[in-house]
């Protein structure tokens, strides 16, 4: 037996169980052993029966003395199981385990059974009660050594498979598996214990100390696997055929000279870094991040001019059509005087067959469009540089698509993010990119004052906004999308619009949301940009990049529904001119969590601090949301909390590639295996 052995081939695992495990995604011995317990119960010594409500959960063992099913109000059911302390010296311990409407538990319990129960006890009347506890029936004394008198693993289970059953199967597998069949993949320099030991301890720890050691080993293995794949793609990128896409810089100098302001030091630094990369005959892969309003577009534009000057095309891909259109106008106004041909390719124009692919000249030097440019024949003739103004993660797959669009030679790639990224994350999410940071805002930016207000203050807020508008300023009113449906979205937008039109009358208002056709959207934005419309009532379509320096007030309704980074990004739409700006976070939430979140924005406008705080509050697990990549990459590790281990893995991975890029040395056999596993996982995600 080894880690590849399918569980169905093991005679001591009943077929039915092996099939259930397979449905659960656990096919091989290795899969099973990497299905780590979701928690542990210290069953060496059970907790005393609680006599009052406790902060945390308790784990007790007792004997069933009574069960009781109560029905009330139609089909409502309550099922109580009374257990008593089976330790005769601790007289008097009693506890009620209680379930509501859980049909399945009713058949399980009988008087005299021994039960281990886990949960948070609460006093209710004269009883101590645990609602919907985790529990396990203690069935067979012969197997006590597996299930009791130890730190017992509680594995994630599923219908038909109880934690007890999985524990027994894992135990049996570990009994039969020799240490030789489990090669250690981590170099001993990184971690002293063997993989076989670590896996055994993860499931059946001898002590909490050895569990910690085992966990460290397994987390490092995950991190090293990931960093090896990062290091591998870095090393491949470096050997990929590329071309230099860097002109003399004359056009760029003309652009800079025509600007009404000097570049910030950070912009100059970033441009120099990009220029250096562009001049090398290998593909650039660079991340440009910085706070909202730090002037990333100008860095991108400079890079694109360098590229155009060397005879190649440059493309800018924005996450939304509004942004693509705004970039287009911005580029046209700055680059027309230099005689650069800029073209816009938008979704709406693509739909008509008659219309040309590009608005503007048919052989554009600079193309601007949405990310769709990547996926559809964009008509690049000679793409030298792609700038991705990103919203979502731009990963390996997208890069591959881009290459396919660009021909044999990989283009240079510059990824721009909307908000700053904590260092912790650049190393994990963008580990294969070089990084440029704009850590400086242009001088003379207006201050932003942020406040939290309950909805009852809406009239006051409206009054305040009106005075600002009367003084010649403009404002945004943002509300979150509650409904996914098209009809309801349009309806709620209309309701909001009517409400605000009344509140701000007679000021001219405009409304924009996701369901408005693109041409109309552009007209509305133009009206707001020109100052004809004073207030823009909007969903988050204005989130990224919209740039109207005269707008000085933003009111965000139901602010608690937005994430911190998103709120910061929204707020970045104001404070762009010299005037003092105001952001009102309207919320009816009064839970400490929501308030703490919003309070961060009251305290700081520094995007790096907001990003760190966001990460701290939400943790790694939630950060990527539905994005599968994050979840499947790490079962155990938390790259935020375990940054030191990530750093260790990273240094090690890069060191290995530096000395042995093909991983052919014997001591790198483990690393090679880890890399193969990482690649397999990536492919699994693709298909």
Query: Would you tell me which residues interact with ligand ADP (CB under 6 A)?
Result: 261, 263-264, 267, 290, 292-298, 442, 545, 547, 576
Q: CB-wise, 133 or 545, nearer to Mg ion?
A: 545
Q: CB-wise, 233 or 297, nearer to ligand ADP?
A: 297
Q: CB-wise, 267 or 398, nearer to ligand ADP?
A: 267
Determine the Cα–Cα distance for residues 459 and 465; give it in Å rounded to an integer: 10
Determine the Cα–Cα distance for residues 420 and 416; give it in Å rounded to an integer: 10
Residues that bind Mg ion in the complex, under the rule CB under 5 A:
545
Strand partners, 343: 367
Closest CB 542 distance from ligand ADP, rounded Å: 13
Q: Are 119 and 134 in contact (CB under 8 A)?
A: yes
Nearest to 31 by CA among 218, 205, 170: 170
Q: What is the 3-state secondary structure (H, E, C) of 117-157?
A: EEECEEEECCEEEEECCEEEEECCHHHHHHHCCCEEEECCC
Q: Which residue is nearest to Mg ion (CB)?
A: 545
User: Which residue blocks in 442-485 are alpha helix, DSSP H?
Assistant: 458-470
Return the one option of Mg ion, ligand ADP, none that residue 320 interacts with (CB less than 5 to 8 A, by type). none
Determine the Cα–Cα distance for residues 134 and 508; give it in Å rounded to an integer: 59
Q: Give 348's DSSP letter.
A: H
Return the one option of ligand ADP, Mg ion, none that residue 293 interacts with (CB less than 5 to 8 A, by type). ligand ADP
User: What DSSP line would sit under 182-235, residue for residue?
Assistant: S---S-TTT-SS-HHHHHHHHHS-SSHHHHHHHHHHHHHHHHHHHHHHHHHHHH
Return the one option of Mg ion, ligand ADP, none that residue 292 interacts with (CB less than 5 to 8 A, by type). ligand ADP
Strand partners, 685: none
Return the one option of ligand ADP, Mg ion, none that residue 442 interacts with (CB less than 5 to 8 A, by type). ligand ADP
Q: CB-wise, 97 or 387, nearer to ligand ADP?
A: 387
Chain CA centroid to CA 379, Å: 32
Return the one option of ligand ADP, Mg ion, none that residue 201 interacts with (CB less than 5 to 8 A, by type). none
482: exposed, middle or buried (Cβ count in 10 Å: 0-12, 13-18, 19+): exposed
Q: Is the backbone peptide bond immediately before 384 cis, with ω within 30 degrees of 0? A: no
Could you give the C-alpha distances from 17 to 139, 144, 176, in angstroms and in order? Answer: 18, 21, 18
Q: CB-wise, 263 or 435, nearer to ligand ADP?
A: 263
Closest CB 415 distance from ligand ADP, rounded Å: 13
What 600-605 contacts at long range (C-beta under 8 Å, 24+ apart), as own/partner pairs, is 600/564, 601/450, 601/564, 601/567, 601/568, 601/571, 602/450, 602/451, 602/452, 605/447, 605/448, 605/450, 605/571, 605/575
Q: CB-wise, 163 or 293, nearer to ligand ADP?
A: 293
Closest CB 292 distance from ligand ADP, rounded Å: 5
Closest CB 209 distance from Mg ion, rounded Å: 50
Run of H or E including 256: helix 250-258
Determine the Cα–Cα distance for residues 548 and 535; give it in Å rounded to an integer: 12
Closest CB 569 distance from ligand ADP, rounded Å: 9
Q: CB-wise, 420 or 545, nearer to Mg ion?
A: 545
Specify the residue for token string 């309207």. 586
Return the one option of ligand ADP, Mg ion, none that residue 379 interacts with (CB less than 5 to 8 A, by type). none
Q: CB-wise, 267 or 633, nearer to ligand ADP?
A: 267
Closest CB 607 distance from Mg ion, rounded Å: 12
Closest CB 505 distance from ligand ADP, rounded Å: 30
Q: CB-wise, 119 or 293, nearer to ligand ADP?
A: 293
Return the one option of Mg ion, ligand ADP, none that residue 398 interacts with (CB less than 5 to 8 A, by type). none
For residue 592, the tally of other CB atoms under 10 A from its CB is 9
Residues whose CB is less than 8 angstroms from the CB of residue 1 and which lie 6 or more positions away in sequence, other chains included: 10, 29, 173, 176, 177, 178, 181
Return the one option of Mg ion, ligand ADP, none that residue 630 interacts with (CB less than 5 to 8 A, by type). none
Closest CB 443 distance from ligand ADP, rounded Å: 7
Return the one option of Mg ion, ligand ADP, none that residue 298 interacts with (CB less than 5 to 8 A, by type). ligand ADP
Q: CB-wise, 222 or 389, nearer to Mg ion?
A: 389
Return the one option of ligand ADP, Mg ion, none that residue 100 interacts with (CB less than 5 to 8 A, by type). none
């Amino acid at each position: 037996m080894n880690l590849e052995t399918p569980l169905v081939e093991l005679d001591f695992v009943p077929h039915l169980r092996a099939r259930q495990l397979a449905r659960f995604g656990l096919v091989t011995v290795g899969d099973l052993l990497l299905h780590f317990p979701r928690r542990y119960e210290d069953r060496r010594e059970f907790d005393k029966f609680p006599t009052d409500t406790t902060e945390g959960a308790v784990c007790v063992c007792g004997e069933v003395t009574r069960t009781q099913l109560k029905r009330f109000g139609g089909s409502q059911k309550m099922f109580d199981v009374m257990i008593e302390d089976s330790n005769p010296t601790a007289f008097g311990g009693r506890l009620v385990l209680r379930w509501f409407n859980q049909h399945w538990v009713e058949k399980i319990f009988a008087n005299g059974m021994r039960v281990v129960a886990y949960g948070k006890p609460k006093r209710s009347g004269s009883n101590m009660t645990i609602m919907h506890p985790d529990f396990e029936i203690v069935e067979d004394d012969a197997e006590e050594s597996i299930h009791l008198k130890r730190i017992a693993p509680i594995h994630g289970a599923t219908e038909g498979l109880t934690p007890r059953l999985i524990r027994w199967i894992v135990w049996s597998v570990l009994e039969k598996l020799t240490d030789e069949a489990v090669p250690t993949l981590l170099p001993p320099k990184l971690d002293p214990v063997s993989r076989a030991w670590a896996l055994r301890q993860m499931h059946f720890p001898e002590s909490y100390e050895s569990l910690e050691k085992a966990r460290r080993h397994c987390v490092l293995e995950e991190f090293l696997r990931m960093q090896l794949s990062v290091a591998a793609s870095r090393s491949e990128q470096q050997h990929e055929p590329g071309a230099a896409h860097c002109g003399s810089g004359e056009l760029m100098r003309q652009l800079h000279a025509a600007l009404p302001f000097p570049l910030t030091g950070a912009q100059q630094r970033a441009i120099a870094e990009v220029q250096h990369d562009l001049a090398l005959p290998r593909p650039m892969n660079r991340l440009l991040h910085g706070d909202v309003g730090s002037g990333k577009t100008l860095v991108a534009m400079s890079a694109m001019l360098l590229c155009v000057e060397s005879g190649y095309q440059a493309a800018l891909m924005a996450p939304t059509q509004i942004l693509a259109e705004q970039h287009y106008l911005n580029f046209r106004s700055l680059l027309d005087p230099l005689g650069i041909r800029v073209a816009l390719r938008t979704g709406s124009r693509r739909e008509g067959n008659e219309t040309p692919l590009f608005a503007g000249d048919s052989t554009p030097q600079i193309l601007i469009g949405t990310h769709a440019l990547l996926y559809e024949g964009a008509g690049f003739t000679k793409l030298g540089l792609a700038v991705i103004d990103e919203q979502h993660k731009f990963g390996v797959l997208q890069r591959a698509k881009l290459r396919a669009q660009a021909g044999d030679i990989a283009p240079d790639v510059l990824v721009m993010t909307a908000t700053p990224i904590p260092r912790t994350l650049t190393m994990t999410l963008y580990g294969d990119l070089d990084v440029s940071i704009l850590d400086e805002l242009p001088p003379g930016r207006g201050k932003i004052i942020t406040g939290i207000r309950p909805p009852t203050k809406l009239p006051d807020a409206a009054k305040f906004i009106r005075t600002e508008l009367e003084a010649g300023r403009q404002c945004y009113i943002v509300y979150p999308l509650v409904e996914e449906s098209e009809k309801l979205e349009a309806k709620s937008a209309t309701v909001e619009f009517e409400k605000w039109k009344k509140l701000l009358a007679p000021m001219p208002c405009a409304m924009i949301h996701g369901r408005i056709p693109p041409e109309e959207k552009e007209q509305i934005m133009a009206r707001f940009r020109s100052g004809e419309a004073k207030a823009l009532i909007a969903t988050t379509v204005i989130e990224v990049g919209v740039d109207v320096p005269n707008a000085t007030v933003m009111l965000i309704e139901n602010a608690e529904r937005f994430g911190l980074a998103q709120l910061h990004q929204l707020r970045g739409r104001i404070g762009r001119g010299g005037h003092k700006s105001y952001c009102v976070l309207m919320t009816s939430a009064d839970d400490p969590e929501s308030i703490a979140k919003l309070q961060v924005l009251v305290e700081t406008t520094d995007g790096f601090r907001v990003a760190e705080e966001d990460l701290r509050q939400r943790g790694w697990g939630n950060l990527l949301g539905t994005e599968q990549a994050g979840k499947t990459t790490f079962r155990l590790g938390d790259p935020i909390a375990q940054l030191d281990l990530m750093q260790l893995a990273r240094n090690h991975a890069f060191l290995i590639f530096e000395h042995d890029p093909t991983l052919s040395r014997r001591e790198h056999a483990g690393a090679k295996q880890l890399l193969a596993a990482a690649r397999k996982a990536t492919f699994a995600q693709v298909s």
